[in-house]
């Protein structure tokens, strides 16, 4: 097969500019394929300012055509959609993306010819498979979502929240088992996610391709450390504090290791970028001396660039953590849990420091705080790993093979 393919991408949120792990993956993928001469059409959901971003995206990515951007369902529509999904035994998150307008647009596009494959991005788009073009299909699930929910259940404390998560996990697992095998290929980002899905349904045709880092991080030129020539080294923690596994990991460290680290001879600044924290958690964070807390950073890259050490303390989760890849791409030494480095081929003590307890985290931070050369060495090794294994230059050919491999199955 030596012709350039044409792919229809169904996406739950317009991917430009990329603002989270999901949009970074699909944005970098589409740009890569377009640079190879492939046709990439997009049907997606988006908000009121999507029109301006569509024009800019199509300008910088020749070969990309945005077929339509459909408004997200209203609050009332989402409520009815969630209820409808539950009554049908489908994952409740489908309700947020259940849209007659999206379905109608998809059916109109599907009546056309010329597509070689259809790419459904993340589980919420899988519900549209019956209405998509009758061509080979790829579901890019990223993670094994039922496994992700199982981890959240362990970290969640509220009775009703646990009950909702258990119901969601059961419905998602059932959907994964019954529906994923209908796709010609299902993409996940780690072997752990693939093993979980294979255990659920051995018939799923799985492909593991890691996440890639946004080119803006790849193109970053390493600069002098923030801490060099200054009184204090800066430690930065990032993570959505609405996620129990992230918040619990942070507070375990603060409760059990922060005071000892603070009493050491080496001065440091501790900055927490933790969006979506509850008022109680925000108060709890600010009660610790010396902590500087931010709800949001307008320019995340600029904020991350000020870090000398990055801390990622997730206690639950699946797949690959995009914020870990981004920090490593910036040449920052990262200290984190085993889960934080899940799916990343990082060697402890060479590319990063992996801790098994708050006390270990404190000890590793203490070593980095007092040793500039160690920070530079770990950061440089981390960046080399990203460039060699987690850039689109490294992983783009795997995506090309994924699409090409499924075409003969239905030719």
Closest by CA position to 276, among listed 242, 249, 253, 247: 242
pLDDT at 225: 47
Residue 275 lies in a domain: yes
Whether the Cβ atoms of residue 65 and residue 41 lie closer than 8 Å to each other: yes
Is 66 found in the same domain as 139? yes
Give the span between the Cα atoms of 148 and 394, in whole angstroms. Answer: 27
**DSSP class of 348:** B
**DSSP class of 193:** H
Residue 347 lies in a domain: yes
| Helix, coil or strand: residue 185 | strand
pLDDT tens column, 92-128: 999 999 999 999 999 999 998 889 999 999 999 999 9
| Helix, coil or strand: residue 378 | helix
Whether the Cβ atoms of residue 22 and residue 121 lie closer than 8 Å to each other: yes
pLDDT at 410: 45
Is 400 found in the same domain as 374? no
Is 53 found in the same domain as 34? yes
Is 142 found in the same domain as 10? yes
Whether the Cβ atoms of residue 98 and residue 73 lie closer than 8 Å to each other: yes
Helix, strand and coil in the chain, % to nearest 5:
50, 15, 35
> Mean pLDDT across the chain, nearest whole number?
91
Domain that holds residue 254: 216-389
For 102, residues 6+ apart whose C-beta sits below 8 A from its C-beta are 43, 45, 70, 128
For 7, residues 6+ apart whose C-beta sits below 8 A from its C-beta are 33, 38, 39, 40, 41, 115, 116, 117, 118, 119, 403
Residue 324 lies in a domain: yes
CATH of the domain at 233: 3.40.50.2000
Residue 136 lies in a domain: yes
Residue 1 lies in a domain: no
pLDDT at 228: 47
Residue 66 lies in a domain: yes
Is 121 found in the same domain as 32? yes
Phi, psi of 174 (to 5 degrees): -65, -40
Is 123 found in the same domain as 57? yes
**What is the total count of domains within the chain?**
2
Give the span between the Cα atoms of 94 and 129, in whole angstroms. Answer: 13
Whether the Cβ atoms of residue 141 and residue 188 lie closer than 8 Å to each other: yes
For 187, counting Cβ atoms within 10 Å of its Cβ (0-12 exposed, 13-18 middle, 19+ buried), the class is: buried
Is 205 found in the same domain as 86? yes
Q: Tokens for 202, please give them.
A: 């051995």
Task: State the first-to-last Cα distance of the chain, in angstroms, to the nearest integer.
Answer: 11
pLDDT at 379: 96
Is 134 found in the same domain as 54? yes
For 71, residues 6+ apart whose C-beta sits below 8 A from its C-beta are 45, 46, 47, 48, 101
pLDDT tens column, 258-279: 999 998 868 899 999 999 999 9
Using only C-alpha atoms, the chain has a radius of gyration, in whole angstroms, of 22
Q: Tokens for 90, please give them.
A: 């489908």
| Helix, coil or strand: residue 115 | coil
Give the span between the Cα atoms of 46 and 200, in whole angstroms. Answer: 33
- Give CA 23 to chain center in angstroms: 8
Give the span between the Cα atoms of 342 and 238, in whole angstroms. Answer: 17
Is 220 found in the same domain as 206? no
Is 144 found in the same domain as 195? yes
Is 46 found in the same domain as 177? yes
Q: Which residues of the chain have pLDDT under 50?
A: 1-2, 225-229, 409-411
Total-model pTM: 0.90
pLDDT tens column, 300-351: 999 999 999 999 999 998 999 999 999 999 999 999 999 999 999 999 999 9
* Half-sphere exposure at residue 333, Cβ-oriented, CA atoms within 13 angstroms: 29
pLDDT at 265: 67
Is 183 found in the same domain as 162? yes
Strands (E), 84-239: 117-121, 137-142, 185-188, 206-208, 233-238
Give the span between the Cα atoms of 97 and 79, in whole angstroms. Answer: 11
């Amino acid at each position: 097969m030596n012709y350039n393919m044409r792919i229809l991408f169904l996406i739950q949120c317009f991917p430009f500019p990329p603002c989270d792990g999901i949009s970074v993956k699909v944005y970098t993928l589409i740009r890569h394929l377009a640079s190879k001469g492939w046709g990439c059409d997009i049907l997606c959901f988006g908000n009121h300012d999507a029109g301006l971003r569509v024009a800019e995206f199509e300008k910088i990515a020749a070969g990309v055509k945005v077929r339509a951007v459909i408004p997200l369902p209203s609050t009332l529509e989402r409520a009815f959609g969630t209820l409808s999904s539950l009554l049908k035994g489908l994952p409740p998150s489908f309700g947020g993306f259940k849209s007659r307008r999206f379905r109608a647009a998809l059916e109109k596009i599907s009546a056309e010819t010329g597509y070689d494959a259809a790419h459904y991005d993340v589980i919420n788009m899988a519900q549209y498979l019956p209405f998509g073009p009758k061509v080979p299909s790829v579901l890019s699930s990223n993670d094994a979502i039922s496994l992700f929910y199982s981890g959240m259940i362990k970290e969640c404390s509220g009775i009703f929240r646990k009950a909702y998560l258990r119901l969601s996990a059961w419905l998602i697992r059932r959907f994964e088992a019954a529906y994923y095998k209908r796709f010609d290929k299902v993409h996940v980002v780690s072997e752990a996610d693939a093993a979980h899905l294979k255990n659920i349904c051995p018939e799923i045709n799985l492909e593991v391709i890691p996440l890639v880092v946004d080119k803006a991080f790849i193109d970053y030129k390493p600069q002098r450390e923030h801490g060099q020539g200054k009184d204090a080294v800066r430690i930065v923690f990032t993570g959505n504090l609405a996620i129990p596994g992230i918040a619990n990991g942070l507070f375990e460290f603060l409760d059990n290791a922060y005071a000892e680290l603070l009493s050491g001879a080496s001065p440091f600044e501790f900055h927490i970028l933790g969006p979506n924290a509850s008022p109680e958690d925000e108060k709890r964070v600010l009660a610790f001396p010396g902590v500087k807390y931010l709800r949001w950073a307008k320019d995340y890259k600029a904020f991350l660039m000020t870090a000398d050490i990055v801390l990622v303390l997730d206690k639950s989760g699946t797949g690959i953590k995009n914020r870990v890849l981004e920090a490593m791409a910036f040449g920052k030494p990262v200290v984190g849990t085993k889960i934080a480095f899940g799916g990343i081929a990082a060697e402890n003590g060479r590319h990063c420091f992996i801790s098994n307890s708050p006390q270990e985290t404190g000890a590793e931070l203490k070593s980095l705080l007092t040793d500039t050369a160690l920070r530079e060495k770990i950061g440089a090794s981390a960046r080399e790993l990203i460039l060699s294994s987690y850039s689109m230059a490294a992983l783009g050919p795997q995506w090309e093979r994924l699409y090409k491999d499924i075409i003969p199955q239905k030719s």
